[in-house]
Amino acid sequence: MSEGMVVSEGRITVEDVVCKTGIDELDVQLDGGIPVGNTVLMVGSSGSGKTTICMQFLANGARQGERGVFFTITEPLFKLTKNMQGFDFYDKKLIESGMINLIDLRIISERLGLDAEKYTVEDASALLEVLKDIADELNVKRLVIDSITALCYRLQTKEMIRDFIFKLGSSLAAMNCTTFLTSEVPPNEVKYSQYDIEEFIADGIIFLGDVDRSGDLIRTLQLIKMRGTAHSRIKSAMSISSKNGIELTPLLKSRA
């Protein structure tokens, strides 16, 4: 072992190996945080809080000096910022200073000539290259694609989806960039992805759902899978408030 390596090894801190989401209870459940470089699928139906968690993840990172990028496919930029303005974790300065970059992937795609309904293999690899180049150029440590479902829709076969997510995940991991991919599923369905592929490629799955408690719907969050951690698998109640953003509390078991 060379001396150089010993020195660098000596500098390794918790922050180098895990990426803290900044949502305290979630980090506890994750046994510290998400292993750096993991690709995590954030699964939920519409309105389940996927986008908010991802934004909070980026904002928390930015405050610790980790640059992030949010690729939106489903929502235009102005809507995204408008929805975030209500949250205390959101700060316009994070965007102005370039710590969080919001990028409309449709504009990029259009520029690349990828405005067709279906991507060819070449289209997909061109897009992949650009995503990597952007992540590299901005030197981001946290990346979000909202949603991967919308992207997979354009990839014509399961092999293309598999290839795309796998290559994206591995190149981002090489940059020590931790990735959230949001996955849209129909409500009340225990399914982690639309195309049944995404969940196998991802290193982690966070499932956002609902439970019915005497007629009231309670938001829930559950860690289904996270490679490289001894994580909890309990289902927690999740609340979204403008002051604290995402908060998790134990889901009280009760007889309905």
Partner 1 sequence: MSNDEFISTGIDKLDRLLEGGILRGFTTLIFGSPGSSIEILSKQLSITGSVLYFTTEETKDEVVKTMSRFGWNPENIDFVDIASKYSQTILTREEKRVSIYEQRSKLKIKELIELGSSGMAPLVREEEDFLAILSNKIRLSSFEKIIINSLDFFLSRYSQEEVLRTLHAAKINNIEKKSVLFIIMTRGIHGDIFERRMEGIADCILELEVIQKGSTFERFLAVKKMRNYAKKIGIARYVIDSDGFVLEMIERIM
Q: Which is nearer to partner 1, 76 or 250 (CB)?
A: 76
CA pair distance 60, 213, nearest whole angstrom: 32
Residue found by looking up tokens 């997979």 in the block: 152
CB of 86 or CB of 98, closer to partner 1: 98
Of the candidate spans 84-92, 110-118, 196-204, 218-226, the one that interacts with partner 1 by CB under 8 A turns out to be 110-118
How far apart are the C-alpha atoms of 160 and 163, rounded to whole Å? 5
Are the C-beta atoms of 35 and 228 separated by less than 8 Å? yes
| 139 touching partner 1, by CB under 8 A | no
Three-state DSSP state, 145? strand
Interface residue with partner 1, options 101, 147, 149, 236 (CB under 8 A) = 101
User: Whose Cβ is closer to partner 1: residue 80's or residue 152's?
Assistant: 80
Using CA atoms, how far apart are residues 256 and 254, in angstroms rounded to an integer?
6
Of 227, 223, 239, 178, give the one whose Cα is nearest residue 201: 227
Q: How far is the CB of 103 from partner 1 (least distance, A)?
A: 4
Crossing angle, helix 77-84 and helix 50-63, to 10 degrees? 80
Half-sphere exposure of 155 (CA within 13 A, CB side): 25
Quick one: 107 or 217, whose CB is closer to partner 1? 107
Q: Other CB atoms closer than 10 Å to residue 172's CB: what's the count?
A: 23
Q: Which CB atom, from 69 or from 201, has the smaller least distance to partner 1?
A: 69
- Told to check if 212 binds partner 1 by CB under 8 A, we report no
For partner 1, which stretch binds (CB under 8 A), given 109-117, 162-170, 212-220, 247-255?
109-117
Q: Which is nearer to partner 1, 19 or 105 (CB)?
A: 105
User: With contacts defined by CB under 8 A, how many residues of the chain interact with partner 1?
Assistant: 24
Q: Among residues 36, 103, 150, 237, which is the contact residue for partner 1, using CB under 8 A?
A: 103
CB 194 to partner 1: min, Å: 18
Q: Does 147 bind partner 1 (CB under 8 A)?
A: no
Residue among 8, 47, 76, 241 that touches partner 1 (CB under 8 A): 76
Kindly state whether residue 174 participates in binding partner 1, applying the rule CB under 8 A.
no
Residue 179 exposed, middle or buried by CB count within 10 Å (0-12, 13-18, 19+): buried
Backbone angles phi, psi at 78, to 5 degrees: -65, -30
Residue ranges binding partner 1 (CB under 8 A): 76-78, 101-108, 110-113, 115-117, 126, 130, 133-134, 137-138
